[in-house]
Amino acid sequence: MTSYQPNDIEKKWQKVWAETEAYTTPDYVEGRANKMVLVEFPYPSGNLHIGHWYAFALPDMYARYWRMKGFNVLYPMGFDAFGLPAENAALQRDIHPGEWTKQNIAYMTNQLHSMGAMFDFSRAVSTIDPEYYRWTQWMFLRMYEKGLAYRAKTTVNWCPKDQTVLANEQVVDGHCERCGTTVQQRSLEQWMMKTTAYADRLISGLEGLDWPNTARTAQEHWIGKSEGAIITFPLSGIPGQEDGKHSVDVFTTRPDTLFGATFLVVSPELAQKWIDVGWQASDAVRAYITESRSKRELERLEGAKEKTGVALGIFATHPLSGESIPVWVADYVLGNYGTGAIMAVPAHDERDRAFALAFDLPISDAPLRDAQEVIDQLIAKSAGHVKTTFKLRDWVLSRQRYWGVPIPIVHCATCGYVPVSDDQLPVELPPLRDFKPADDGRSPLAKATEWLSVPCPKCGAGAQRETDTMDTFVDSSWYYLRYTDPHNTQEFASKEKMAQWLPVPIYLGGSDHNTMHLLYSRFFAKVLYDLGYIAFEEPFLKRVNRGWVLGPDGQKMSKSRGNVIDPDKEVAQYGADTVRMYLAFMAPYEQGGPWDSRGIVGVHRLLSRIWTLFSQEPAGEASPDVERALHEATRNVSRDVELLSLNTCVSEFMKFMNVVDGAKTTLTVAQREHFARLLAPFAPHLAEEVWHGACGHSESVHQESWPAFDASLLDSQLITIPVQVNGKVRATIEVAPDASEEALKALALAADGVVRALDGLAVQKIIVVPKRMVSIVAR
Ligand code: ANZ
Ligand code: ZN
């Protein structure tokens, strides 16, 4: 008997699976329904960390289970390979980001093989492949044609360290999501996508989805739909202007509070616009506007404690009462939300109250009105209307960095922005030695002089290519479509192939993508659907957010804390099957938890016991206890794996092994075959080895079907319950756990001890507590 040596076994089978293309998934298999199990494709950072194992090896159990259940399961993999981190890493190491990224992809692909997962590498996609990004550019052009991709001057988040623009979604608490540097505000011309055009549908579409509540509400809040009204206030007291000639619109969600409005506040941005068209503002106002520019949006919104502002010396006329109220400028009102101006109601709004108290402005206790009534009056006076606004902003997608998809646009002095024609795609990223970003907002691609000049696609005159590249979130917004048809050179994917796999039935990933990747992908799907290229509006029907694997100290793993678990080391010590099963056992999948070095030893011991069991001579006759335990484990594992309750699946294996040990027996030939198949999704290498060795098969266990359980065997497992007569236990009865009340009564009355105790008495009442007891009252 040899001891369990996972490393020999695992390498052997990984090689066999690769050589026999065991996991190459056909588009269609007679009699099997297709099922794609999607996990977020990784960024080629250089090394697989334990989080990758958690993210991929556990869903692999789920994918393998469904494959054995008779589905044609696609478990695809790819690389999200453009982006800042690769570029920064390449700058540090003084090599080209392309070289760096490709090395990492090769290395990580090898590491992925060591996981023993059923990835179909024949369908692998990489976003830096020109044959992939040809279609990223093609989609951009379709959006450009519809006005959904456009260029405009806008206030953007600028990361001074990465020297590029960031989307709102990439700014976390005022810091760059990637490098942590405090983000600045700059006004720049940028390429944008009109996500706001889909704001309503991005909310309503969430309804039918099987998503965690946290992900759904994160999106709802991010989109931030508010229903309210626009109210117009005529202005007076503007020097050199007739009173009532100009007016200001405010957005309010509370028109019912209109009679409590005691002043108006405009944002510094709106005040600046007035100055731009000739208003002679005071020096104090001008100074205040300049000062507020250095503040970030979040700071301004949160600065509840310390309210700042300046009176404009202008007055507004209340549209219904006719009263005159002062107008102020203050930075707690944002320039890019609603109309950029508010009516302040200190009696009902906290921020307005704080402002009124700080500047000694009146607070009115005028009663609330029926809103609808207010709106009717406003409409009658042409002084207002209902309005829905959203917090969502258009997606700023241009990046002033090298390592991204070139935006397929040409700037012509005569024709303006001209799209590159489809037959000229892809616009390939030129090789560039010096790809360092510059602080002037010019993209490094401006240095690719040869690449830069092209004839204008429209008039043929000398013109220049767009030098911004795309945010990598564009690349990842559609990658799952490509998995269905990865080698297509005519379309991003054929409709027939997409129809075979999509929409994605289950998508597993991280909660960090709740408002970024998941929102962008949904936007892309809706646009492609409207343009007739895909047949569904919602790409991901079910979403599961995994938990985090924490360090042994319960903290997030980080090099500085020294609590990082290196999966390669763990695999070298215990084997991939142990690492997989330990990660499954460690915590509920959606919860995550700390790595426990003793815990992995326990799981390794379990697999060693299983190994030993298979190396013993098979039993001639089945122990009824073991047989029942095997079917019970099968029932429970089948149920739990479908719920992604993988930790309880591993406990089922532990329970089963305890029964086997307790029965002091081994498995029969039939039981071995059953057990090997049950184990296959969890410990794919060990199961394959014993399937070939101990069970003597020559085909793969992963081609087998999932073992069925015998329910009758489970039902015959009887439970013992007591029978009382007038409060005293007189007998016990053996019954099936789901025995009916009638059956329980009959059995109880027939029991020996009960018959004796009832002698001479009349039964008044029988109380049945299912599975617990029967109580008889007699006199
Ligand atoms: C009067 C009022 C009275 C308001 C009241 C609220 C409560 P949500 O729900 O987030 O959409 N507001 C409007 N535009 C603003 C801007 N550009 N910057 C800062 N605040 C702005 O919030 C809408 C409310 O936020 C609006 O309704 C307005 O204040 C304020 F008891 O108007 B309300
Ligand atoms: Zn031209």
Q: 578-613: per-residue pLDDT in tens?
A: 999 999 999 989 989 999 999 999 999 999 999 999
Q: Mean pLDDT of all residues in the chain?
A: 92
Residue in this structure with the two tokens 């930790």, named with its chain if needed? 647
Which of 253, 269, 378, 391 has most ligand 1 atoms within 8 Å of CB, for mutation?
Answer: 253
| pLDDT at site 301 | 63
> Looking at the CA of 456, which ligand is closest?
2
**Are 406 and 137 a contacting pair, CB within 8 Å?**
yes
Task: Spell out the residues 6+ positions from residue 500 whose beta carbon is closer than 8 angstroms to its own.
Answer: 27, 28, 34, 484
**Nearest CA-CA partner of 579 in 661, 685, 654:** 685
Cα angle: 527, vertex 531, 537; to 5 degrees: 50
Atom 22 (ligand 1) nearest CA: 253
Atom 9 (ligand 1) nearest CA: 226
| High-pLDDT (> 90) share of the chain, % | 76
| pLDDT at site 303 | 57
Cα angle: 264, vertex 281, 289; to 5 degrees: 70
| pLDDT at site 715 | 63
- Compute the half-sphere exposure of residue 239: CA atoms within 13 Å on the CB side of its CA: 8
Beta-strand relationship, 409-412 and 310-317: unpaired
Q: How far is the CA of 197 from the centre of ligand 2 (A)?
A: 30
Q: How far is the CA of 252 from the centre of ligand 1 (A)?
A: 5
Q: How far is the CA of 18 from the centre of ligand 1 (A)?
A: 60
Q: How far is the CA of 11 from the centre of ligand 2 (A)?
A: 59
- Mean pLDDT of the region 136-152: 97
pLDDT band at residue 187 under the 50/70/90 scheme: confident
Q: Which residues surround ligand 2, an ion (CB under 5 A)?
A: 412, 414-415, 456, 458-459
Which of 254, 334, 336 has most ligand 1 atoms within 8 Å of CB, for mutation?
Answer: 254
- Mean pLDDT of the region 506-520: 94
pLDDT band at residue 481 under the 50/70/90 scheme: very high
- Examine the pLDDT at 297 and tell me if it is beyond 80: no
> Looking at the CA of 259, which ligand is closest?
1
> Looking at the CA of 411, which ligand is closest?
2
- Examine the pLDDT at 402 and tell me if it is beyond 90: yes
> Looking at the CA of 387, which ligand is closest?
1
Q: How far is the CA of 358 from the centre of ligand 1 (A)?
A: 19
| pLDDT at site 1 | 53
Ligand 1 atom closest to residue 336's alpha carbon, by position in its atom list: 17
| pLDDT at site 310 | 96
Distance set, CA 35 to CA 28, 88, 266, 507, 703 (Å): 11, 38, 54, 11, 16
> Looking at the CA of 350, which ligand is closest?
1
**Nearest CA-CA partner of 162 in 182, 144, 147, 145:** 182
Q: How far is the CA of 415 from the centre of ligand 2 (A)?
A: 4
Of 97-111, 140-154, 401-415, 709-723, least confident by mean pLDDT is 709-723
Q: How far is the CA of 352 from the centre of ligand 1 (A)?
A: 10
Q: How far is the CA of 253 from the centre of ligand 1 (A)?
A: 6
| pLDDT at site 560 | 86
Rg (CA), the chain: 34
Residues contacting ligand 1 via CB (< 6 Å) = 226, 251-254, 257, 267, 333-334, 337-338, 340, 342-343, 345, 348-349
Q: How many CB atoms lie within 10 A of CB 210?
A: 11
Beta-strand relationship, 263-266 and 395-396: unpaired
Which of 250, 337, 388 has most ligand 1 atoms within 8 Å of CB, for mutation?
Answer: 337
Which of 155, 295, 349 has most ligand 1 atoms within 8 Å of CB, for mutation?
Answer: 349
| pLDDT at site 716 | 59
